[in-house]
Amino acid sequence: MAAVEGPLVPTPRWVQLAWLAPAALFAVVALGLVPEGQWSAPWVPSLLIEFALRVDGLTRLMLALISGVGTAVFFYAPGYLAGDARLPRLMALLVAFFLAMVGAVVADDPWTLLLFWEATSVLSFLLVGFDRANRAARDAARHALLITGFGGLCLIGGLLLVQLAAPGLKLSDLTHLEGAHPGALGSSLFHGGVALVVIGALTKSAQFPFHAWLPGAMTAPTPVSAYLHSATMVKLGVYLLARFDPAMDAVPWWHHTLLAVGAFTAVFASVQTLRERDLKRILAWSTVAALGTLTMLLGLSDALSGVAFTAFLLAHALYKAPLFFVAGNVDHEAGTRQIDHLRGMRKALPFTAAAAVLAGASMAGLPSSLGVVAKDAMQRAKDSVDIDWYVSATSIAVSVVAVAVAAVATLRVFFGPPNDELARSPHPQGLRMSLPPIALAVVGLLLGLWHAPIEGALLAAARSVAPFGELELEVLWPTRLDGILLAVVGGALLFWQWDRVHRWLEGFRGLDAIGPASLYERALAALKAGAGTVTRTAQHGVLGRYVAVLALAGAVWALPFLVRAPLPAAGPLSAGDAGLAAGCLAVLAGAGLAVVARDVLGRLLGAGLVGLGSAVVFLFGGAPDVAFTQLAVETVFVVVAATALARYRVASDTPPAPKWRLVAAVALGGLLGLASLVVFAAPFDPSLTNFFGAASLPEAHGRNVTNVVLVDFRAFDTLGEIAVLLLVGVAALPLLRRNTGKGAKA
Amino acid sequence: MNLWAVLPVLVPLATALLCLALQRRPVAQRFVSLVGGASFLGIAVALVLGTAGGAVYETRLGNWPQPFAIRLSIDALGAALLAVSGAVLLALLAVPGRGECATARSPLVPPLVHGLMAGVGGAFSTADLFNLYVWFEVMLIAALGLIALGRERRHLDAALRYLVLNALAAVLLLCAVGGLYGVGGSLDFDALSLGLGGDGSPSAAATALVALALLALLIKSAAFPFGAWLPAAYPVLPTPILALFAGLLTKVGAYAVLRLVAQVAPAASAPLLEPLGWIAAATMVTGVLGAAYHQDLRRILSFHVISQIGYILLAISLGTRAAFAAALVYTVHHILVKANLFLIAGLVRRSGGSFDLRHLGGLASRPALALVFAIPAASLIGLPLTSGFWAKLTVVKLCFAEGRYTFGVLALLVGGLTLYSMAKVWIEAFWKEPPDPYYPRRVPKMAFVATFALAALTLALGVYPEPLLVFAELAAALGPGGAR
């Protein structure tokens, strides 16, 4: 996607100058103009949510990282996509992302954090899918969104639980949790909440088993990979873990989880690194490994681990971002990222080659780079606490692979005889593309040689992670070289045998089959299939079955409550009861006829008989006026319906309904029958009837109480019913007009 | 006699009659229809402002003493729902409804729409159980008329389904209303509440009849497994009318559930809340699964209607005042967002030529359409800074606070599946290359006015939800003693 076809589009001025925004923030942070402190404004008081911000050592480090790498990325992007009409969109999304990241690391209220956290997820989705015509990019974007979105849900649930245990908890409270929220740590709600927060953080930082989205996200343009998917956004997860670390430090499951997940992720990703041939995907897997290392460091309970964490956080951003730029430049120039084809690129890209060497040295942890500072701090952190053997083994293995990857990205790609078969881009790479990798790599190297300027900042950040008393400043000087030597030698061996190891590891197809990437695919397929099954089962489209399901489910819902209500006691029979019984018999006979009859006219007569029986019931039940109305309505209905049926010759023979629907019909009838029995059993309060009877003549001036009820006491109901009649007329109008017979069925 | 309480019925009824009379003069009819919609919204907003100050607009029709008269009583709950209904009504009247099918152009649409609004207005105003049933009937018939208006076979099939299942619900509701009158001795909400045992110990008969009434209302609100009629009936409608149906009809059912559970029969419905919670959970899950499965935009959105109803019922089933407030917040959010999404589906159809994701593509090259879709879609998912975030957050929070962790986790997961479904729409309709090079087409700017207005509302409630939350808290004081 690097080379652009067709006419070049001029780059708007704001896109060219966008890098000034992060540069300005970087200057402000570097000059120490951002004071430490807390600031808050009421946002949603009824939910105890504030818009709260806070700046401390770790925030400053993250701000410097976001703005520093951001400056390089914003400077680089207009060169990388020069002349592409989509460049302004890319820059707009990147600027929005920059702001969201800044918000996320200065947030103090967890919901303020969540707001920016979700914003980074959405922007990552839009940026991974930037090349939207490309199907792979769309799928990768969906993968990233679903995994980080799932993480966001876990985070929401976790924060809710945490705040149930500690109402109104701020992130800054986590350094002194016992003082701010006494007893919170003893509550299982708090631990459950933190566990969910951990899952959310692990998805964001691409930790096992949620890591698979990150290598896929490499379909994004290089500036996006360098910025979001190595230097900043994926660090947000470990950043959040670092925020919870002071509070959870004394909790065993916290250590064990972070150590185990981090170590496993680091090893797993290192193995995957060796199985890749695409330069960007190699870098992506090594990023996952680095994030695993960071997670593991948080699992160590020691002040030194805090120093190691912050130093590695910084060092990784300063070497991985340039390496991504390098990969982008190589891709831009040669049109491929396959390391099989890439060699001797130093002639074509001298500056990029220099940047690769410098960044590679830092990644390998060679002496005098910032990388070695980080590695040394890690080494000593592990020495100072009693740790499981696998943690040491992991870190050595990961270091060895890191050295080999650094060598592949520098020596293999840039040295040796050039590959003449490779195409060369017609566009020369200007300052925009050469300067950012060099600049970041040089900064990384300089800080390794002379880290006085950042000592204070790193220690302040470390104190936010592990606030245990005073730390010694000398801690930053490398003291142990044996581990580093071991890594370099091992890495050199691995680099020497790279192709053989690669072929050997590539054979392990099982790794792909059980890996979470396929787990995601399978879950997605299962979701589609399951949704299909459920939906097709519920949405069969057969009206009779809808009614039957409704009747059965309704009976299941209401019967348990109906059977608990008392039923009326049997009383002595009177003469009127014989009439009632006759009416009931007529109703039953009509209903039976309606069910049994095979032709429509028979069913209509059955329904008419039901109405007739009801009229008899009303007559003997003390409501002769209702009985006469019912009789009139029923007669008219049967006559009109029969005439209509005769005219339209509706097909008489419909297939008999399946037997089980009888159960549904009986259930519904039983339900309503039981309900009326229950009502009869209850003592009736006659005050309404009495009032209507008494007030009808003197106040409403009407002798027929029923009429007065209709036109006065409850005239508003009558108004509604008139509206119903009116609307029926309106609804029927189009059906009556020019009827072609299509509408006969309704 | 307080005139304000009658206006939400009289204004749409009068508008419907005028529109009917102006059938052959489309310009005048459209003008009257818009004025009627605007008046409805204006009245409702005035009612919200009044009730926010603690007023209740009450009138006993015919001036008969309580509880013998039909009482209209617009409190904060009713006023809030009237106001969002008015906003949706005005928005859909403002969207030019050309193009999709013959129904949209029929001169009978405005009378039926306003007739339906009379039912909606009556249902949100009345404090009388039988009168509530009458307004349900008005809505049913108007809705049926709108569905059948298309006159094609598919419209009549859908109308038949809608009629049979809703008529069954109406019969059940009528039986339950009669039964509750028999057991409680009154139809007036407050008097009936006392008759049913108030806050104290209700009879088993009261509980049984409340269960019957809830059954009818659950069918009306399309809860699982009673909601199968909804996706079958909705997609034959043109999108502006679909917006009205999706926004309002099922929500009136949910509103009646809330009234019944919170105000009329708080004690009698207590044993029903647990099963109601499970029905709500099943509704959420099956609804969103249907949305995940389908490819037709109208069907996807119809299934989301069901899923979102689940959230509202879930909140009601928690049975506390805070939960009732959450249910109101969710309903307000959902009406605004769902109606808007259907209106936007109409714009998608105009621009992309289809409702089917398989035939859509490339809509991202229309930035205004992409933006106006993205906002309510984000709100439906529940992303921060949209009304959906606060609506979902409060429901999940209350589930956790009540110790109903399963419900809370399910509510979160359904949010995740909603994300999946909306991502599917976005990727397929907006990102993918259009299968047909003639599309996407330009959509006139005027078509966006109403949808952007509704989107702005959901954003405004998302950025600053406090007034809505405070108002809902006030409106949730429904029970005889105000709160439980």
C-alpha angle B369-B354-B27 in degrees, rounded to nearest 5: 70
Q: Which of B163, B397, B468 to mutate to test the interface with A (most CBs of A within 10 A)?
A: B397
Quote the tokens at residue B442.
Answer: 């330009």
Single-letter amino acid, residue A533: T
Residue A24 reports pLDDT greater than 90 = yes
Single-letter amino acid, residue A271: V
Q: How confident is the model at residue A51 (pLDDT cuts 50, 70, 90)?
A: very high
Residue A483 reports pLDDT greater than 90 = no
CA pair distance A46, B398, nearest whole angstrom: 13
Phi, psi (deg, nearest 5) at residue B126: -80, 150
Chain A residues closer than 8 Å to B178 by CB: 679
Q: How far is A722 from chain B (nearest CA, A)?
A: 9
Interchain contact, B20 vs A730, CB within 8 Å: yes
Does A735 contact chain B (CB < 8 Å)? yes
CA pair distance B210, B103, nearest whole angstrom: 38
Chain A residues closer than 8 Å to B290 by CB: 531, 534-535, 538-539
Q: What is the pLDDT of residues A246-260, one digit of tens each?
A: 888 888 899 889 999
**Got the DSSP string for A409-426?**
IIIIHHSSS--TTS---S
pLDDT at B483: 38
Considering only the beta carbons, identify the residue of B137, B211, B408 that sits closest to A561: B211
Q: Are strands A49-55 and B57-60 parallel, antiparallel or unpaired?
A: unpaired
Considering only the beta carbons, identify the residue of A564, A688, A728 that sits closest to B186: A688
Spatial CA neighbour of A363 closest among A283, A299, A294, A297: A283
Q: Output A391 or A203, whichever has higher pLDDT.
A: A203
- Which residue from A minimizes the CA distance to B434? A133
* pLDDT (mean) for A141-160: 94
Residue B482 reports pLDDT greater than 60 = no
Q: Is the peptide bond before A78 cis (omega within 30 degrees of 0)?
A: no
pLDDT at A480: 62
Residue A728 reports pLDDT greater than 60 = yes
Q: Which of B234, B276, B393 to mutate to test the interface with A (most CBs of A within 10 A)?
A: B393
CA pair distance A212, A144, nearest whole angstrom: 9
Quote the tokens at residue A216.
Answer: 């896929």
Does A648 contact chain B (CB < 8 Å)? no
Asked whether B242 and B298 are in contact (CB, 8 A), the reply is: yes
Q: What is the pLDDT of residues B37-76, one digit of tens each?
A: 999 999 999 999 999 988 889 898 888 888 888 999 999 9
CA pair distance A23, A30, nearest whole angstrom: 10
Does B101 contact chain A (CB < 8 Å)? no
Cβ-proximal residues to B41 (8 Å cutoff; 6+ apart), any chain: B83, B86, B87, B89, B90
Q: Which residue has the tokens 């350094």?
A: A175
CA pair distance A375, B270, nearest whole angstrom: 62
Interchain contact, A153 vs B61, CB within 8 Å: no
Q: How far is A177 from chain B (nearest CA, A)?
A: 21
Kindly state the percentage of chain A with pLDDT values over 90.
Answer: 32
A48: enclosing H helix or E strand: none
Chain A residues closer than 8 Å to B214 by CB: 557
Does A48 contact chain B (CB < 8 Å)? no
Chain A residues closer than 8 Å to B66 by CB: none
Does B175 contact chain A (CB < 8 Å)? yes
Considering only the beta carbons, identify the residue of B112, B176, B466 that sits closest to A731: B112
* pLDDT (mean) for A661-675: 88
Considering only the beta carbons, identify the residue of A47, A146, A535 that sits closest to B290: A535
Q: Is A389 exposed, middle or buried (0-12, 13-18, 19+ CB in 10 A)?
A: exposed
Considering only the beta carbons, identify the residue of B135, B161, B378 that sits closest to A543: B161
Interchain contact, A538 vs B225, CB within 8 Å: yes
Residue A383 reports pLDDT greater than 80 = no
- Which residue from A minimizes the CA distance to B412? A153
Does A711 contact chain B (CB < 8 Å)? no
Residue B450 reports pLDDT greater than 80 = yes
Asked whether A479 and A384 are in contact (CB, 8 A), the reply is: no
Q: What sign for the dihedral angle of Cα A418, A424, A430, A433?
A: negative
Q: Which of B400, B410, B471 to mutate to test the interface with A (most CBs of A within 10 A)?
A: B400
Quote the tokens at residue A168.
Answer: 């109104």
Q: How confident is the model at residue A128 (pLDDT cuts 50, 70, 90)?
A: very high
Kindly state the percentage of chain B with pLDDT values over 90.
Answer: 64
Interchain contact, B141 vs A731, CB within 8 Å: yes
pLDDT at B101: 63
Residue A2 reports pLDDT greater than 50 = no
* pLDDT (mean) for A727-743: 71
CA pair distance B94, B212, nearest whole angstrom: 40
Considering only the beta carbons, identify the residue of B205, B231, B383 that sits closest to A539: B231
Least confident stretch, B103-107, B264-268, B369-373, B386-390: B103-107
- Which residue from B minimizes the CA distance to A566? B205
Kindly report the average pLDDT of chain B as a whole number.
90
Longest dimension (CA), chain B: 69
Single-letter amino acid, residue A182: P
Does B165 contact chain A (CB < 8 Å)? yes
Quote the tokens at residue B384.
Answer: 């921060």
CB pairs under 8 A between A and B: 289
Contacts 24+ apart (CB under 8 A), A695-703: A695/B64, A695/B68
* pLDDT (mean) for A252-272: 90
Interchain contact, B384 vs A118, CB within 8 Å: yes
Interchain contact, A528 vs B293, CB within 8 Å: yes
Interchain contact, B207 vs A564, CB within 8 Å: yes
Q: Which of B183, B193, B424, B459 to mutate to test the interface with A (most CBs of A within 10 A)?
A: B183
Interchain contact, A45 vs B186, CB within 8 Å: no
Does A672 contact chain B (CB < 8 Å)? yes
pLDDT at A4: 47
Considering only the beta carbons, identify the residue of A160, A528, A731 that sits closest to B145: A731
Q: What is the pLDDT of residues A553-603, one digit of tens each?
A: 999 999 999 988 888 887 777 877 888 899 999 999 998 888 888 778 888
Of these ranges, A6-20, A158-172, B60-74, B94-108, the one predicted with the greatest mean pLDDT is: A158-172
Chain A residues closer than 8 Å to B417 by CB: 527
Longest dimension (CA), chain A: 116
Residue A377 reports pLDDT greater than 80 = no
Q: Which of A162, A717, A737, A742 to mutate to test the interface with B (most CBs of B within 10 A)?
A: A717
Spatial CA neighbour of A360 closest among A445, A289, A425: A445
Q: How far is A564 from chain B (nearest CA, A)?
A: 6
For A16-133, strand residue ranges (E) read 37-44, 49-55
Quote the tokens at residue A534.
Answer: 């459920």
Phi-psi region of B73 (alpha: psi -120 to 50; beta: other; left: phi over 0): beta
Q: How confident is the model at residue A1 (pLDDT cuts 50, 70, 90)?
A: very low
pTM, to two decimals: 0.92
Does A682 contact chain B (CB < 8 Å)? yes
Q: Which residues of A471-483 are buried (b: 16+ CB within 10 A; e: fewer)?
A: beeebbebeeeeb
Q: Output B141 or A389, whichever has higher pLDDT.
A: B141
Interchain contact, A745 vs B108, CB within 8 Å: no
Q: Partners of A53 in the beta sheet?
A: A39, A107
B74: enclosing H helix or E strand: strand B71-74
**CA end-to-end span of chain B, whole Å?**
31
Interchain contact, A561 vs B111, CB within 8 Å: no
Interchain contact, A682 vs B175, CB within 8 Å: no
Asked whether A141 and B427 are in contact (CB, 8 A), the reply is: yes
Does B345 contact chain A (CB < 8 Å)? no
CA pair distance B475, B50, nearest whole angstrom: 12
Interchain contact, A566 vs B67, CB within 8 Å: no
Cβ-proximal residues to A115 (8 Å cutoff; 6+ apart), any chain: A103, A107, B384, B385
Q: Which residue has the tokens 């590679």?
A: A360
Kindly state the percentage of chain B with pLDDT values over 70.
Answer: 96
Does A439 contact chain B (CB < 8 Å)? no
Q: What is the pLDDT of residues A163-192, one digit of tens each?
A: 999 998 999 998 888 888 888 888 899 999
Cβ-proximal residues to A168 (8 Å cutoff; 6+ apart), any chain: A48
Spatial CA neighbour of A471 closest among A480, A479, A462: A462
